[in-house]
Each structure stands twice: as C-alpha cells, then as structure tokens.
Amino acid sequence: MASDDRASQLVQQLLTNPTVRIKDTKATTEKLSTILQDGRPNLHFICDFDMTMSRYYTRNKDTGALQRNPSCHGVPSLYSKMDPKFKITTDNLLNTYYPIEIHKEMTREQKLPYMIEWWQKAHAAMSAQKITRDDIRGMAEETPVELRPGIDTVLELCYTRALPFLVFSAGIGNIIDEILKEHKLMFPNMHIVSNMMKFDEQGVCVDFEEPLIHVFNKSEFQLENTPYYKTIKDRANVILIGDSEGDLQMSQGVKHNLCLNIGFCNHDCEALEPKYTEKFDIVIMGDADFNPVIDILECLG
C-alpha cells in the first residue's frame, strides 16, 4: 500500500481514539506519509520528560484522590534524608514562580528572567544539600514517579527498531536517568539532555553544569555538541512529543526536514484545546496514554 494511503488510514485510526484531536488532518497526513515513506532509518524522537513521559496526575494510595505527580525537580524535596527547610524553600519557589510560568497575560519574553531566577535558586538550594550519587538512587527508589501508560512500549519499540530517542528536559538529568533505570527503561539508543549535576572528587553535588535549561529556552541547546548527534545527523524526520508550548522548541537545535509535533494537553482541557490544536499536529487530551504514538510506531513497521 502506498504511503499516502497508509498515512490517511493511520489518521482515521488515530481519530477513533476519543483522546485525540487533529485540527489540520491534511497537513498531518502529509507529514505521516513522508515519515512512513522514508522509513525507520530516517526517523528519530525527541521527547520531554516531566508530565510527558510521566503522568500529570496520580491517585493518592490512601484516599484515591487525584494529586500532582512529582516532577524530577520535586522528587528531592520528598526524599527522607533532605533537610526539612529544603522542602519549605522549594515550595516557596514553586508558589512564587509557577504562576508566572503559566500566566496567560505575560509574554514569553516577560517570563524569561523569572524562569532563569527560579531555576538558579532551585539549583543553588539543591547544591547546598550536598547530595551524593547514592542519594539520587535513593530518591528514585523512595519517591516513585508514575510514568505515563504506554511509554514502556514506546521506548521498547524504539530500541528494537533502532530509532534514536532523545529525552530533552528542563528538569534534572541525573534524576531522570535513575527514574528510567528504576523502571528498566534506559536503553542504549537513548540520550538525556537536561540539567546535570556537577560532582566533586568525593562524589558530592556542588553545582550544576552549564548551560542552564529551563522551560522556555530549549531552542538554544545545540545537539551538535553532544555525542548523541552522530546517531541522528543523517535522519531528516523527527517526532517531537511534549506537553507545553515551550517544548515545541526542542527540535530547533537539530537540522531536520520534517517535524511531527505531538502534544499532551494534561489539564484545563476545554480552555487549552484550541491553543494546543493550533500549535501541535496531534493533541492527546486529558493526561491520557501513549497509545496514539504506539499506533504510529506500529504503522511504521
């Protein structure tokens, strides 16, 4: 079957999923047709971590009530060995800066200095705790981050089909690495670009590596500077997966001919759906699973 027909059928299949929205079916079909025609050797993935690979909500084990899934910046404050003052500090930072991050009237440019300030203060507070590599492993074990259903299948399919998979996060790369290892989902085809801790000779975190990666500057990171680049430099097509408008920048540091953007709209769905369907080719509503991405991978063969 021709790639155009396969892509058209795939889009119709995706739209039978009640969580999927596709505003421009023609453009999305064309992108999928190219991806299917060019095949696996010309494709790679770029994916955000917090609230993309991980869920937005989890259920409280005792009450069953919905609660926020910890982000990888939130995991350290839940760790039993951390100074209680650290949690107070990070909670205050979240309460101060998160409303700015999601403020509907502020522009990206207006938010930028606040985001840099937030990340710098969070990293300084963490460095002051003298965290070790053993502590990071302890955090991943002690504070389970619930991964989004289906991400295990996506990562396994990408590994078995030799599709490079980049985890691109404004979180903490060392924690992401341990979380994925805890779930046995860190495969050789994967690479993490994130904020990485800097350790001294005693294995104690004393700072964070440059450059600082925050929610609004993912376009500035050039993958050409990483060893991962040689695995993707000849792959013209990329599937980008994220949960925020800032994540759309993740592919800008990579040369590519085509980018299929898939967005998870986790919350405030009624208000955010028009914006998400305008920005992303495919939108998955309501903190749902990775099944639409699995459908694409299975069609790719």
Rounded CA separation 183/185 (Å): 5
E-strand stretches of 48-189? 57-59, 66-68, 165-172
Q: Which of 48, 177, 243, 281 is catalytic?
A: 48
In angstroms, the CA 191 to CA 155 distance is 12
Neighbours of 105 (CB within 10 A): 5
Instruction: Determine whether 48 is an active site residue.
Output: yes
Q: Read off the tokens for 135.
A: 């502590």
Rounded Cα distance between 46 and 49, Å, is 10
CA–CA distance, 92 with 75 (Å, rounded to integer): 15
Q: Are 222 and 228 in contact (CB under 8 A)?
A: no
Residue 230 phi, psi (nearest 5): -65, -20
Beta bridge partners of 197: 208
Q: Which of 4, 5, 50, 247 is catalytic?
A: 50
Three-state secondary structure call for residue 277: helix
DSSP structure class, residue 128: T
Cis previous bond, 211, omega within 30: yes
Which run of H or of E encompasses 198? Answer: strand 197-199
Tokens standing for residue 65: 């009530």
Residues with catalytic function:
48, 50
